[in-house]
Amino acid sequence: MADAITPRSEDYARWYVDVIRNAKLADYSPVRGSMIIRPNGYALWENMQRTLDGMFKDTGHENAYFPLFIPQSFLEREAEHVEGFAKECAVVTHSRLEVDEETGHLRPAPDSRLEENLVVRPTSETIIWDAYSKWIQSWRDLPIKINQWANVVRWEMRTRLFLRTMEFLWQEGHTAHATEAEAWEETRLILDLYADFVEEYMALPVIRGIKTPSERFAGAVETLCIEALMQDGKALQAGTSHFLGQNFSKAFGCQFQNRDNELEYAWSTSWGVSTRLVGALVMGHSDDRGLVLPPKLAPTQVVIVPIYRNDADREQVLESAGRMQADLRKRGVRIKLDDREGFRPGWKFTQHEVEGIPLRIAIGPRDVAAGTVELTRRDTSEKETVSATGLSDTIEQKLDEIQKGLFDKAAQFRESMTTRVDSYDEFKEALTDKGGFVHAHWDGTDETEARIKDETKATIRCIPIDPAEEDAESGVDMVTGAPSARRVVFARAY
């Protein structure tokens, strides 16, 4: 079943697609730029959703659902927003197809032309703030803290499975507050929530930072972000949390009576993560043999492979394996017994590796006799014979070790791929020689940022919120020599 996986060293982009297709996470679709998320990929997204959804609810957010279609005129209301999104959106112009008698094929029925074009949402600030302007009259109606799980469309020309697709799945939070301070607090709370999720569940360390004006969300006053590092040394923006100030409440006339009985525009935030995270997870940990998954998100955490040559052995081994499965399931471990007939154990091993199941239990007649099993870690390939007594404890401990091991490995890798430079030559050398994060001084102007991007393809990923001591010191811009208050983080990025 498994086609060959191109090694990372040979072609990283090919490797990525090979890992995804072999693990059956996703497939291309006949509509250019769209993808099909297959059951193995969707199960990963479901685990992410469930975890994040719980975190949102624990912090007082509720889910809702707003319409897919946005009237074209809504986009026009916020000047920067329209600038950012009108150039890449799917436009619905008709409500009916009819047979064209000349060609015999379907065509949009001319008399079904819409009075106003509709845009398939690229993001929902406008339609949501139109609703909020009706719901919010007084400070008593605030805060509103709504999240929605939805699909969005941005007409991307260069797409890549999970990382950049025309349609993607995401969650978008949209909150309204009575004060600026409260909206800022929310923006930061969500950034930390995202960072905790990516570090604790996805086992990927992130930098928390502030975007430069040129990389801000269209319509935001400030965009906070988390940035992760992939194995090829490129950065990936894993989530954003925007402080929108009063931009959208003003665009949609959303005023409320504050506690002093004065009319004031509501303060707001928006924030989101998407199926892009599945791509980050794949890129973050996988190897040349296929997918590697952190146990906390793996749809199947443990697989048992029974090994036998004859019916007597078979019965004995399956009975043991069945008991182990039942015990572990009771503990809440997501476990599968691969008792398919007609496939050899070695073939199964390979498939489980390709699919990234974190831990494999192999059990044969000798193990049953000796009261042992053989455990194999997907991440390190370490094999170990352990006692079947207390197996559930052993497994839980191993899963914790794997989760921690993946994070530590990614953290070490990031450490090794982080360079601090003082000159533009060093900067270019670091980018060319190894990539990764390059911390350097910047004079704070769009011009310098654009010049560096133009010359090196590196962008400012963020201005770190909690900079290391070495980054917090002042200096001079590596290109212009103008003063700089601190180092910022550059990288080539997805």
Applying CB under 8 A, among 7, 71, 405, 475 the residue interacting with a second copy is: 71
When the beta carbons of 329 and 420 are compared against a second copy, the nearer one is 329
The residue from 2, 17, 82, 493 that contacts a second copy (CB under 8 A) is 82
d(CA 421, CA 440): 5
Verify binding: residue 96, a second copy, rule CB under 8 A: yes
Residue (30 or 332) nearer to a second copy, CB: 30
CB 361 within 8 A of CB 377: no
For the CB of residue 178, give the shortest distance to a second copy in the complex, in Å: 16
5, 136, 150, 305: residue in contact with a second copy (rule CB under 8 A):
150
Q: Which is nearer to a second copy, 152 or 228 (CB)?
A: 152
To the nearest whole angstrom, how small is the minimum distance from the Cβ of residue 224 to a second copy?
Answer: 25
Nearer to a second copy, 225 or 333 (CB): 333
Whichever of 39 and 390 has its CB closer to a second copy, that residue is: 39
Region binding a second copy by CB under 8 A among candidate stretches 100-108, 225-233, 408-416, 429-437:
100-108
Could you tell me the CA-to-CA distances from 157 to 69, 85, 164, 344 in Å, in that order? 21, 14, 9, 44
Q: State the pairing for strand pair 302-306/335-337.
A: parallel
DSSP E strands, 222-341: 222-229, 235-245, 255-257, 263-265, 267-274, 302-306, 335-337
In this chain, which stretch among 6-14, 150-158, 242-250, 402-410 interacts with a second copy, using CB under 8 A? 150-158
With contacts defined by CB under 8 A, how many residues of the chain interact with a second copy?
A: 64
DSSP codes, 406-452: HHHHHHHHHHHTEEE-SSHHHHHHHHHHT-SEEEEE--S-HHHHHHH
Kindly report the backbone phi and psi dihedral angles of residue 175, in degrees, each rounded to the nearest multiple of 5, phi listed first. -120, 150
The C-alpha atoms of residue 301 and residue 130 are separated, in whole angstroms, by 44
User: Judged by CB under 8 A, does residue 151 bind a second copy?
Assistant: yes
Binds a second copy by CB under 8 A, chosen from 119, 236, 307, 460: 119
Q: What is the C-alpha separation between 449 and 83, in angstroms, rounded? A: 20
DSSP 229: E
347 is a contact residue toward a second copy (CB under 8 A): no
**Which of 434, 316, 312, 299 is closest to 367 using CA atoms?**
316
Token pair in block for residue 170: 């995401």
Work out whether 118 is an interface residue with a second copy (CB under 8 A).
yes
At what angle are helices 39-58 and 276-285 packed, to 10 degrees?
Answer: 110
The answer to whether 56 contacts a second copy (rule: CB under 8 A) is no
The SS3 call for residue 83 is helix
Instruction: Name which position in 105, 158, 309, 344 contacts a second copy (CB under 8 A).
Output: 105
Q: Which stretch binds a second copy (CB under 8 A): 95-103, 192-200, 390-398, 448-456?
A: 95-103
Q: Closest separation between CB of residue 31 and a second copy, Å?
A: 5
Asked if 69 touches a second copy (CB under 8 A), the answer is yes
Q: How far is the CB of 148 from a second copy (least distance, A)?
A: 8
Asked if residue 254 binds a second copy (CB under 8 A), the reply is no
Q: Reduced to 3 states, what is the DSSP secondary structure of residue 205?
A: coil
Which of 44, 52, 127, 297 binds a second copy (CB under 8 A)? It is: 127
Distance of CA 88 to the CA centre of its chain: 21
Q: Does 36 bind a second copy (CB under 8 A)?
A: yes
Among 74, 162, 217, 267, binds a second copy (CB under 8 A): 74
Q: Rule CB under 8 A: choose which of 30, 58, 311, 432 binds a second copy.
A: 30
Candidate list 6, 29, 231, 456; residue touching a second copy; CB under 8 A: 29
Distance CA 45, CA 299 (A): 10
Strand positions, DSSP E, 230-356: 235-245, 255-257, 263-265, 267-274, 302-306, 335-337
By residue count, the chain amounts to: 494
Residue (134 or 309) nearer to a second copy, CB: 134
Site string for a second copy, 152-181 (x = CB under 8 A): -x-x-----------x-x------------
Cα–Cα distance, 266 to 178 (Å, whole number): 6
Q: Is 102 in the site for a second copy (CB under 8 A)?
A: no
- Show the DSSP H helices in 68-112 as ranges: 72-76, 79-85
By the rule CB under 8 A, 273 interacts with a second copy: no
Residue 324 near a second copy by CB under 8 A:
no
- Given the rule CB under 8 A, which residues bind a second copy? 27, 29-31, 34-39, 41-43, 45-46, 62-76, 82, 86-98, 105-108, 112, 117-120, 127, 130-131, 134, 146, 150-151, 153, 155, 167, 169
